Structure 1
Amino acid sequence: MALRILSLNVWGGRLHGPLIQYLAGVDADVFCLQEVVHTPDARNDWLLYRDGNTELPQRAHLFDEICAALPEHAGYFCPTARGLLFDGEDKLHSEFGLATFVRKTHAVIGQAMDFVHGTFSPNGWGEHPRARNAHCVRIFSYEDGFSLTVAHMHGLRDITGKEDSSLRVEQARFLVRLIERVHRNDERLVVCGDFNVLPGSVTFEALARLGLSDLVTTGGHTDTRTSFYPKNGRFADYMLTTPHVKIRKFDVVAHPEVSDHRALVLDIA
């Protein structure tokens, strides 16, 4: 049997209908999702994020809706911050972060979540570049007879660009430390997410010390963004594996478009 891992920045659920339909039908064993919204007190489905002149619609109950779409999976929500979203002029406290979903037939035998930049902000979204975290799970597949560690990260966003900086060097170091807390050296390892870095980043040098190599760039893919992303610099999302991982198929999904990021889907034996 093949085990499927999906990584996707869900863009706050802005393409909610197509997104939920895609996640419900893709049949992944592990979902690694970034930019997930969780607003327990919201009465309406849509809220507005405001930052200066920027206004972005956010799906208020996105985490709960994904949980409902994936009833055969256990969901783990990992917030980076709790800030304000707007329902008209009403202000509501909302959390924003990562979510990981693991099929319930797999055993979760280890996990760790921690910050790779900054720390949890309970009283606002914080100053740029804002806090970022990563989540790492170690699972055992009874059907396939092996254990596997999967980690994903939402890398810090710097308004000056995606070039390496001292903060990104530190972020890569923290990510490696987090993985080392969970992973066993003789096991399969997959690391993925919206890294917000360029292909030549020192992030990949740090991860290479764990034996990881990237499937996006080595597979000849040149774009991990959809038509909803109008800017240049088409790399953001990556998926890396160790040599222990037996790859059946890897895809940077162009269609359907369910975010401004493309989904990364990996099937392993």
Structure 2
Amino acid sequence: MRLVCLNGWGGTLHEALIPWLAQADPDVLCLQEVVHTPLSRKDWLEYRDGDHILPQRARMFDEVKATLPGHAAYFCPAATGVLWDGARPVPSHWGLATFVRGTIPVIGQAQGFVHKGYGADGYGEHPRSRSAHAVRIWDNGPVVIAQMHGLRDPAAGKADTAARAAQAERFVGLISGLALPGDGVIACGDFNVLPGSETLTRLTALGLRELVTEGGFPGTRTARYTKPGRFADYLMVNGAVGVRHFDVLQTPEVSDHCPLILQT
């Protein structure tokens, strides 16, 4: 099985991302920062948060679905907020998505929130709502693959906080509620924490090992990310998962995050 985990940055690098996904052709894709604006006729909208302005691919979810037509697609919204078409506000869903090749049986799944709940009336103040999704598939035996997008806290940066501790507990609860004894477990995503964080320690206590720092990779952010601190994304596995190969791709740049690629 080939698994790709990536923060898609709202499709900002759409022209690079889509052909790369077609070429990578993962069996399972765990994708964070997914935009889903099904009624928009525009290709691009704009995200505005103070001085932070970013182009967003309006129908990103549908375009990734079309790129992986043989996959079942699951969109898990965290909030419905406003993107902008010039001066016109456009309601748009934002969250994460999981894509599973149709030949792989999905024998269970769980969806929930690791921080706050569904933001039906806008993105809200930081730290904002964060969702998580887990699927239990059959790949020569049962494997649970869980992803989350960890909360962003402008005041605390990526440091441990009480909210991040609670987030880790919710993520562990989502995994534990789906995985049965003996299942393979893979946990991944843009956790928005540093190596050695309480989040990683809590997942390690679940019997998982972390492959990014274990592999000696220098970080998970591309040159598009200009702030200090190169780690945000992680992929963890338990002993029932046979790791044939793991990589953190610095190039090509398809986001300001690097794709994490696991071959089992």
Report the residue type matching 1:172 in the other structure.
A
2:92 matched residue in structure 1: 94
Q: How does 1:56-71 map to 2 (within 5 A)?
A: 56-71=54-69
- Please report the TM-score for the alignment, with normalisation by the length of structure 2: 0.98
Give the ranges of 4+ consecutive aligned residues of structure 1 lying more than 2 Å apart after TM superposition. Answer: none
1:249 matched residue in structure 2: 245
Number of equivalences = 263
Q: How does 1:1-269 map to 2 (within 5 A)?
A: 3-141=1-139, 145-160=140-155, 161-268=157-264
Report the residue type matching 1:185 in the other structure.
P
**Cα distance in 2 for residues equivalent to 1:74 and 1:200:** 35
Q: Deviations over 1:145-172 (max 9, x none)?
A: 2221100010000002000000000000
Shift of 1:56: 1.0
Shift of 1:209: 2.0
Report the residue type matching 2:147 in the other structure.
H
Shift of 1:25: 1.1
SS at match of 2:244: strand
Do 1:41 and 1:92's aligned partners in 2 also have CA atoms closer than 8 Å?
no
Shift of 1:49: 0.9
Do 2:25 and 2:68's aligned partners in 1 also have CA atoms closer than 8 Å?
no
**Cα distance in 1 for residues equivalent to 2:205 and 2:181:** 12
SS at match of 2:186: strand
Do 1:38 and 1:95's aligned partners in 2 also have CA atoms closer than 8 Å?
yes
**Cα distance in 1 for residues equivalent to 2:169 and 2:258:** 26
- In structure 2, runs of 5+ residues without a counterpart are none
- In structure 1, runs of 5+ residues without a counterpart are none
**Cα distance in 1 for residues equivalent to 2:133 and 2:169:** 15
SS at match of 1:180: helix
Percent of residue pairs identical? 54
Shift of 1:54: 2.0
Report the residue type matching 2:68 in the other structure.
L
Q: Deviations over 1:107-162 (max 9, x none)?
A: 11000010000010111111110010110000013xxx222110001000000200
